[in-house]
Amino acid sequence: MSRNRGFTLIELLVALALFALISAFAYRGLNALLESREALAKGSRKWRDVALFVGRFERDLDAALNRRAMSASGSPGAPVSSAVDAGTIVNPGLALTRSGAALNENALAAPQRIAYRIVDGRIQRLAWPAVDAAPRSEPLAVEILAGVKSLAFRFLDPRGEWRTTWGLPGSADTMPAAVEMTLELASGERIVRLVDLQRVS
């Protein structure tokens, strides 16, 4: 008559060791999978935010108007300028006058004065209450992209030459033929966009 033989202590210890080893590998694999998923989600968010910014920028330039703007100090500003604050040369970036958004099928909102600038690695879009600013009127600044190393603009003049400044106080500049934007992300990627403005009269 045979008796049921149980596990010996050594067999139990070996089984436990194998189980612990398999569990450790499974945990490592799961952890790597979760980290990889998180990195992909972060990268996806980054490129979605970049695409939203670039789309907004292109729409603003596509709606550009050849209309000068008055600053809060009463100084005239060019329709497109590399000085964010009309009447001064401070805060380099890009300022422009654009047509208003569509209110309905047959009407547009009033024209807007908007600008782009970089502050502490973040791109801000500024919008003034009116194209011709009232004294002491301040723009509404909205952060639209973080993680930015640099933001630069170039302007194509009517002679076909590129310039890094445009529409500064005292200049006779009106509309450039094109605007080129170069965006460099903190992670090293570079995005360049060129918008043709020759259709703007």
Q: What is the CATH number of the domain that holds 139?
A: 3.10.610.10
Instruction: Look at residue 150 and tell me if it is in a domain.
Output: yes
* 15 within some domain: no
Instruction: Count the helix, strand and coil residues of the chain and give each as a percent rounded to the nearest 5.
Output: 25, 35, 40
Structure tokens at 8: 């010996």
| pLDDT given at position 89 | 45
Report yes or no on whether pTM surpasses 0.75.
no
Q: Which domain holds residue 63?
A: 51-196
Number of folded domains in the chain? 1
The mean pLDDT value for 45-69 works out to 92
What's the token pair of residue 190? Answer: 């570079």
117 phi and psi, to 5 degrees? -150, 165
Handedness of CA 84, 87, 89, 91 (dihedral sign): negative
The verdict on residue 175 lying in a domain is yes
Separation CA 167–CA 81 (nearest Å): 4
Question: Has residue 87 got a pLDDT over 50?
Answer: no
Domain annotation covers residue 28: no
Q: Residue 68 above 80 pLDDT?
A: yes
Question: Is residue 98 a part of any domain in this protein?
Answer: yes
Torsion angle in degrees (nearest 10) through CA of 71, 113, 199, 50: 130
Give 108-125 pLDDT, tens digit per residue.
Answer: 678 899 999 999 999 999
